[in-house]
Structure 1
Amino acid sequence: MEFHLLGPLEVSEDGAAVPLGGVIKRGALAHLLIHANSVVSASRLLAALWPGDTPLTARKMLQNAVRDLRRLLSSGPVRDRGPGGRVALVTDAPGYRLRVDPEAIDLFRFQQAVERGHAEVAAGSYDSAARVLREALGLWRGSALADLVECGLSWPEPTAWENARLNALEDLFEAELARGRHQAVLGELQAVAAAEPTRERLSCQLMLALYRCGRQTDALAAYRRIRAELLERYGLEPTPGMRKLERAILEQAPELDPPCGPALIEVATLPGAHGARRASAPGGAGLTAVRGRATRNRISLVWVRYALEGPGHDPSSIQDGLREAERAVREEGERFGGTMGHAAGSVFSLLFGHPEAGPDDAARAVRAAFAVRDRLAARGSGAAAPAAPAGLHVAVATGDAYLLLRPGETDAPRVMGEVADRCLRLLALAPQGQVRVCEVTRRASEPDIAYRVGPEPPEGWEAVRVRGHGCCADGGPAAGPLEWPVPEHAELPARAAL
């Protein structure tokens, strides 16, 4: 016979449910199970079963419920719990005692497993802790004693159990994050944190998981939501620990990096400005999943959009222009030590910091962006220029990203995460002919690159030139400023010289 409190009250014998009868009998059994092997006074049972006014017949109804429960339990099997090993409900002044093996009650198994899991987390045995805690949390079948709560029997004990469940979840997430499984638990974390927005340990775990998944902007947005919730409900600021985590995320502190090296993970297709793009699947199923070797690197990403605009372009001239643009991006990128990334239509990309990051990645990325822009501008102004100018927009973003190399691929990895989103937003906002960079890129490259305010965010900073008198983007002698055609309807952003 097994007793289940972590959900609607249930008793099962050999796996089959045992009928319990009405709310008085069920409530009496539940209260005795909560205090198993301890004496519960009759007056305490009466107060638990009738929290308001106690009817005159309450004591008689309790005696009838106890009699029926004795009949129910006497038909159960003998439990090996030492002397008097039978599951039994006995009279013990001033009330009743339910003698039962604690292992037969899911609540006690949960509490023991949680204590063991918490100790293993403290000892750093994260694999074992995660296994034990998942088994413990698997005992829950919904809200504790949900059927009795629905009938108006609201006791303080289920609230304490719920708090223990949340503590166990936080221990589980700590173990999983320590194992480098941030990608696997992110969905669970988001669901639990949304239901419990003011638990700061849980909120910190969500921020860390988002950051480690390459979603720095989402991690910071989560902090802002939590802070607003705390201020609105309690008039309190987040704890120093949470504020310290926010600063570390802003600074991309190395101590936030995952503890594990490259991992085999499942990811969706390459994200764009609004998350992962959907792919067609039978019946309209969800995202197309791919498997591959993913590493987390700090990179500088250059995106170049080169689109022939205006009338007069046949398919042949457009293809020739795109081939020339791809060649320029590849050659200029390689000249500055970058890797040609994946192209999408008229958008080309360069990666700096792959396979290994360097201290000057951001500066080299901006220099390559200058070189690509100037080479394509020279093509557009030459004798063989197309009939209408190309729409040329360039953006550079720096930050941590997941680089995915699918099985069998040997070329450049696919970039996933917040840095790709940020670069795409900058590209969409960059005025024609300008090189726009994010704040992280500006800070990392400012000793080598001069900037104008853009402002940032979201429009970014305009990279103007390589520092050094009389130098152009590639370090050679300056050839004079390039003039860019601007559509008459375009609005130029106000800029203040640094």
Structure 2
Amino acid sequence: MRFTVLGPLTMEPGRLPSAPKQRQLLALLILHAGTIVTVDDCVDELWGEQPPVSAHSTLQTYVMNLRKVLRSGNDGDRIRTRERGYALRLEPGELDLDEFRRLAGNGSASFAAGDYREAARLLGAALSLWRGPALVDVHAGPILRTQLEGLREAHLAVHDERVEADLRIGHHRELLGELRVLVRRYPTHENLCAQLAVALYRSGRITEALSALRQLRATLADQFGLEPSRRLQSLEQAVLRADPALDLAVGHGPGYLLVS
């Protein structure tokens, strides 16, 4: 079977349950595949702090229905009952999230080894698995919300590193449109702003590079009463003096600029 969570929840072959809470439970079990999800955690995810009296029996019904949905040929039961809860069994290669993590890990390793072209390829392949926000069509309770926030952060971190790899191999002009969208989406993300400023500078658009940095300064001051970090201030000064270092590799991994 094949399961996807990096976008809408899908399962092939087969048909997903239509009941929202059953889909929610399936998503919870998928994200915890191979480990036990306790009954208490299942109840907390599905009903929050005020579960109905029938919560445990209803949960058992949901699990029984999911077992039927997931049963395929001689594959046996995918959901195992344990003393404290339930565990979903997935085989290698069945979950897009696992593939994302594998590609992202290999891409980061290539980046650390200085193979930026291979890093950009692998990290780009990892990002291509996303078809929208993770589990976009599944209602999220307290446990799923925390996990989805972690997935959003992981997605952004991989994006950040892939952009950095592309900057290292001279793709600054190709990055401009993508970086403008990202900076608009994450207006206080310093590293994305720095990457946009560097890409603009290398494209001969110095005033726009300064404008991007000053817009970040204004946003931080307006929303949080903060100044940009020292590295962003150093980058602004480097742009002003046309520091030759800006024409070289300016990062050493996501979030760190070698600009003094």
> Would you call these one fold, judging by a TM-score over 0.5?
yes
The answer to whether the aligner puts 1:187 opposite 2:177 as a matched pair is yes
2:222 aligns to what? 232
Q: Which has the higher strand share?
A: 1
On the 8 A contact 2:197/2:209 being kept in 1, the answer is yes
Look up the equivalent residue of 2:25 and give its one-letter code.
Answer: A
Q: How many Å separate the matches in 2 of 1:75 and 1:223?
A: 55
- Partner of residue 131 from structure 1, selected from 114, 117, 121: 121
Unpaired segments of 5 or more residues in structure 1? Answer: 79-85, 260-498
1:329 aligns to what? none
| Residue 154 to residue 36, structure 1, CA distance change in 2 (3 Å) | closer
Look up the equivalent residue of 1:68 and give its one-letter code.
Answer: N
Shift in Å, 1:207? 0.5
1:246 aligns to what? 236
1:91 aligns to what? 81
Q: How many Å separate the matches in 2 of 1:22 and 1:255?
A: 57
Look up the equivalent residue of 2:106 and give its one-letter code.
Answer: R
1:407 aligns to what? none
Deviation string 1:228-264 (CA, Å, 9 cap, x unpaired) is 11112222211111111111111111111156xxxxx
The answer to whether the aligner puts 1:55 opposite 2:52 as a matched pair is yes
SS in 2 for 1:6: coil
Look up the equivalent residue of 2:6 and give its one-letter code.
Answer: L
On the 8 A contact 2:120/2:166 being kept in 1, the answer is yes
2:65 aligns to what? 68
Deviation string 1:11-63 (CA, Å, 9 cap, x unpaired) is 122xxx62322111111111011111001111110101112411122222211
Q: How many Å separate the matches in 2 of 1:113 and 1:24?
A: 31
Shift in Å, 1:93? 1.1
Q: How many Å separate the matches in 2 of 1:33 and 1:66?
A: 13
**What count of residue pairs does the alignment treat as equivalent?**
249
The 4+ residue runs of structure 1 with deviation greater than 3 A are: 149-154
2:198 aligns to what? 208
The answer to whether the aligner puts 1:5 opposite 2:2 as a matched pair is no
On the 8 A contact 2:20/2:139 being kept in 1, the answer is no
Question: Structure 1-normalised TM-score?
Answer: 0.48
Deviation string 1:70-125 (CA, Å, 9 cap, x unpaired) is 112112674xxxxxxx6611101111111112421111211222121112112111
The answer to whether the aligner puts 1:162 opposite 2:152 as a matched pair is yes
Aligned-pair Cα RMSD in Å: 1.9
On the 8 A contact 1:76/1:87 being kept in 2, the answer is no
Q: How many Å separate the matches in 1 of 2:68 and 2:77?
A: 11
Look up the equivalent residue of 1:7 and give its one-letter code.
Answer: G
Look up the equivalent residue of 1:245 and give its one-letter code.
Answer: L
- Partner of residue 35 from structure 2, selected from 31, 35, 38: 38
Unpaired segments of 5 or more residues in structure 2? Answer: 250-260
Question: Structure 2-normalised TM-score?
Answer: 0.90
Deviation string 1:395-422 (CA, Å, 9 cap, x unpaired) is xxxxxxxxxxxxxxxxxxxxxxxxxxxx
* More RCO (CA 8 Å, sep 6+): 2
On the 8 A contact 1:148/1:154 being kept in 2, the answer is no
Q: Which has the higher helix share?
A: 2
Q: Which structure would you say has the larger Rg?
A: 1
Q: How many Å separate the matches in 2 of 1:20 and 1:153?
A: 20
Shift in Å, 1:7? 1.2
Deviation string 1:183-219 (CA, Å, 9 cap, x unpaired) is 1111111101110011111111010001111110000
Look up the equivalent residue of 1:10 and give its one-letter code.
Answer: T
Query: Map of 1:62-461 to 2, 5 A cutoff?
Result: 62-75=59-72, 78=75, 88-149=78-139, 155-257=145-247
Deviation string 1:450-477 (CA, Å, 9 cap, x unpaired) is xxxxxxxxxxxxxxxxxxxxxxxxxxxx
Shift in Å, 1:150? 7.5
SS in 1 for 2:53: coil
Shift in Å, 1:166? 0.6
On the 8 A contact 1:36/1:102 being kept in 2, the answer is no
Q: What percentage of residue pairs aligned between the two structures are identical?
A: 38
Deviates more, 1:174-183 or 1:52-61: 52-61
SS in 2 for 1:146: coil
| Residue 197 to residue 146, structure 1, CA distance change in 2 (3 Å) | same
SS in 2 for 1:148: coil
Q: How many Å separate the matches in 1 of 2:78 and 2:136?
A: 25
Look up the equivalent residue of 1:59 and give its one-letter code.
Answer: H
| Residue 97 to residue 151, structure 1, CA distance change in 2 (3 Å) | closer
Q: How many Å separate the matches in 1 of 2:193 and 2:134?
A: 24
Q: How many Å separate the matches in 1 of 2:48 and 2:108?
A: 35
